[in-house]
Structure 1
Amino acid sequence: MNSVTPNLPHLLIVEDDEINYLVLEKIFSDSYFVTRCTSGIDCINYCNQHKPEVVLLDVELPGLSGLDTCKLLKASNETSDIAVVFVTSHSNDEEQTQCWLAGGNDFVSKPVNALTIKHRVNAQFKYQQQKNELKKQAYIDGLTGVYNRRYLDSELSQKLSMAKRSASAFSLLIIDVDWFKLYNDQYGHLEGDRCLKKVAALIQQPLLRKSDSVSRYGGEEFVCILPQTDLVGAQLIAENIIKLMEQANIQHKASPNGYVTVSIGITGVYAVTEVDPIIWINTADEALFNAKNQGRNCIGISSLGEGHATN
C-alpha cells in the first residue's frame, strides 16, 4: 500500500483480485493518486487514517462485503463524506437497489467500460471538490480569513478522536490580544478590525503543516489546533508568535509595551486519552488566565491530567 501524497486527488480502490485492480489502476493512475485495499476491514481502517476523497469499492469482497463496508463508512462521522462508487458483477434492479441503500454514491457494472467508470469517478471527485469549497466558505471567518468557531466546534472533536486512536501527541493554543478594548477605544473599531487581520496572519506563520489550523474563537481570541505536537513543540510555536508580534510592532499607545501583544494559553499531551473538546478548551483557557496574571505578553502552560505549570 502506497503512502499518501497531497499532489493528486486520492482514490482508494478496494479490490481483492489482482488483475481487476491492475485494470482499474491503469485507468486512473494518470489523474489520481491511487492506493489499494483488498478487504473491507482494511478499507475501514485506511479511510479512518487517510481520508481518500473517493473509494472505488467492489461489492463482492472476502469477509466483510462491499455493501457492509459502505454502511460502516457512511455511519461514521469521520468517513461519511467519502464518496463510494460500487463496482458490481450484477446489473439487476435488486443489486442496484442494495448499492443505493448501503449509501453508495454511484455504481458501475463489470466488465467495466473504461470511459464510463472514468466519467463516473471524475464526477464524484468534482462533486467532492465543490462540496469542500462550500464547506470551506461556511467555515471561514469573514473578517480575518482564518477558520471560524463553527469549524473549531466541528474539527476539534474529530481530530482528538483520531489522535486517541493513534495514541499521538496533541496540543491546543488559546491566544488573546492584550488590551484590545483599549486599542479599540484609542484607534476606533475599523482600525481594530485591521489589527485583528494582522494578528491572524501573524499567528498562521509558524503553522507549517496542513493538519495545523487557526480559528477565531471570540472577538479577539484565536485557537490553534496542533495535532501530533507535544507541549515542547507547542511552546516553540507560541514563542514564535510572541516574537512575530514584537517584530510586527503594531502601535498600541494604550498598552504598557507600546505595541500590540498577545497572551497564550497552551495545553497538550504526549498521547491523547481525553477527547472531550470542552475539557481541552477549558484547560487551555486556565493556562491563558495564568498568562494574563503574569502580566500578559507571555505564555501559560497546562498539561491535561498532569498538574499545571505556568511560564
Structure 2
Amino acid sequence: SARVIGSAREMLGGNKVELDALMADLNQKRAEYERLLGEVALREEDVRNKEQAAEMKIAEAAARQKEMLAGAYKESIEVIADTRRQMRNELESLRKIEKKELQEKLREVERKQKAASEKLAEYEHDDSPPLRVRDITVGDKVFVKSLGYDGTVSGIMENVNRIKVMSGTKEVLVPVADVRLKKGREVAEPEKRHLPVSAPDEMVPSRINLVGLRVEEALSRMEPFLNHAALAGFREVVIIHGVGTGALQRAVREHLTGHPLVKTFRTGDQSEGGAGVTIVMLT
C-alpha cells in the first residue's frame, strides 16, 4: 500500500545518509594515509641519499689514507737508503782514520825502537866491568838492559844477587847482571865480560809459555816477563807451564812466592787452562 511504500522510502533515505557519511570518512582517512606514505617515501629517499654520500666520503678517505701510506712507505724507504749511505760513508771515513792512526803508531813505535836501540848500543859497547851487589847503593841511577829503561835503585837483595829498581811509578826486581850504572860512576873490577842485550818489546804480552823449558831457563825468562808486565800496567798475567811431572809448576810458584811484583797467584780454572797455567795478580 501507499503507507508501506512511504515508510520504506523513509527508511532507505536514512540509511543512505549514513552510508554517504561513512564513505566520506573513509575517503578522508585514505587521503591521510596516502599523505603519510608520501612523507615516508621522501624520508627513505633522503636516508638513501645520505647513505650514498657517507659511502662516497668513506671511499675518498680510504683512498687518501692509502695514498698517504704509500707516500710514507716511499719516504721511509728513502730515509733508510739515505741512512745506509751515511753509515757507509762514516765507516769508510773511520777506516781511513784508523789506517792513518795505525800508520802513525807504527812510525812512533819505530822511533822508540830506534831510540832504544841507540841507547842499548851505548851500554852494549860499554867497557865497564860487570856489577856486583856491593858495587850498588840505594839511589843509584841504573839502566835495565832487559827492559830498555832507566831507573833508580830502591832496594838491594844481596842474598839472591838482585836489586829493586823504580821506573816511573813501578818497582821491578832484576838481576844485578841485567843493569849498568849510569855514566858518571865507575866500578873497579878486573874481570870483564860481555852480556847479551835484548831490545824492549813495545807490544808487551800478558802471557808467557814456559812449556818444555828447563827450570833454570824458564825462570830466567819469567823474570823479565814479570818486569815488562808490571811496567806496562798489567794487573793480571798468565804463566803457562803445563802439568808434566809438576817440577816446573812448583819452581814457578816458589819463585812467585814473596816476589815483590806479585800480589797473589792461583791455578787457572778449566776455561783458562786448568792446572797447566798459573794466573798471577801483580801489585
TM-score (norm 2): 0.24
User: Highest relative contact order (Cα 8 Å, sep 6+), 1 or 2?
Assistant: 1
Q: Which structure is larger by alpha-carbon Rg, 1 or 2?
A: 2
TM-score (norm 1): 0.22
